[in-house]
Amino acid sequence: MLYQKPVRVMLSLLPGLLFLYINAVMLFALLRKPLLLESSRYILFGHLLLTESLQLFVTILLYVFAVTMVRMISYVCVVIRMLGVVTTKMSPLNLALMSLERYVAICFPLRHADIATTRRTGMAIAVIWTVASMDSFTQIVVFVSLDNKGSTVPTVCSRNSVLHLQIYSTIFTTFTIMCFVMVSTVIIYTYIAIMITVKSASSNSQNVTKAHRTVLLHLIQLCLCLSSTLFTMINPGGRWNMKRTVAIHIEYFLFLTLLILPKGLSPLIYGLRDQTLRHIFIHYFTFGLKTTVRPFTKTSFQIQ
């Protein structure tokens, strides 16, 4: 961390803080319009904003801990790192739910109101939190059972310092592969199903096409989530035979491109694409100087 100059640290922190602010404004815009939260689509998007912000916050926090060489007991470090792992898993799982919601809205429009209720959306969110936590819960059980020696001795919070057994990498890789295979299957299936509906649609084709593009955007967002996960698997400092200075520069580049940027751009692109949310977001982001919030009804944002 001696190679992390103040300018480089600021270049890492400023984008993350900016994206956190943008996500906070989007969440505030959603909360200011309770009518939006009656739609499962916007509930899932708000949940995506929350989990992306949590992961971005934990990422920045761990980066600051590493740069300043903050020491803490292993239990605290493990809890913070596992929170980051859970939120990492939440992003693709939440995208899968959003794709399923669009699939139901397009392929089963008459049953959409009965299937995609707020209660079922809440239950689905609870399920994906459970699935995303299985990886971290397993690693914590292993840590407490086999690897808690010296857990009360302050140490620098890094993966190698607290999770140095090979079983942790095996558990993480296994759950990650299972998660992305499952999510990829759901998103690709819904994309193909909606694409078939787009080709056969004779009425309301504009709304159907928008939903088709939305699921395609979810597929792109999944790739961004995958790029963030790749950061933990690409470790030039530990796996490549090169000078430490060169490894630090590569790790810094990967940190910005695979962690910070995808976590900020993913919800930003989705939010600005939505006409209803974009109008409200611009209003609050510019403190009401650029535009005014126009009244709208629930039917105006059912399918976009």
What is the pLDDT, as a whole number, of residue 201?
A: 59
List the CATH code of the domain at 6-296: 1.20.1070.10
Q: Provide the residue type at 293 as one letter.
A: V
Average pLDDT over residues 77-95: 86
Rounded Cα distance between 186 and 180, Å, is: 10
Strands 155-156 and 71-72: antiparallel
**Digit-coded pLDDT (tens) for 115-135:** 888 899 999 999 999 999 998
| Sequence spans of domains, the chain | 6-296
What is the pLDDT, as a whole number, of residue 303?
A: 41
- The angle that helices 261-273 and 275-285 make with each other, rounded to 10 degrees, is 110
**Digit-coded pLDDT (tens) for 167-193:** 887 888 888 888 888 888 888 888 888
Length of the chain: 304
pTM: 0.82
Q: Provide the residue type at 137 as one letter.
A: F
Q: Which residues are registered as beta bridge partners of 71?
A: 156
Q: Provide the residue type at 41 as one letter.
A: R
**Digit-coded pLDDT (tens) for 7-63:** 777 877 888 888 888 888 888 888 888 787 888 888 998 898 899 889 889 888 888
189-198, 211-220, 281-290, 293-302: range with lowest mean pLDDT = 293-302
**Digit-coded pLDDT (tens) for 129-161:** 999 999 888 888 888 887 666 556 667 777 777
Read off the pLDDT band of 295 (50, 70, 90): low
Rounded Cα distance between 209 and 189, Å, is: 16
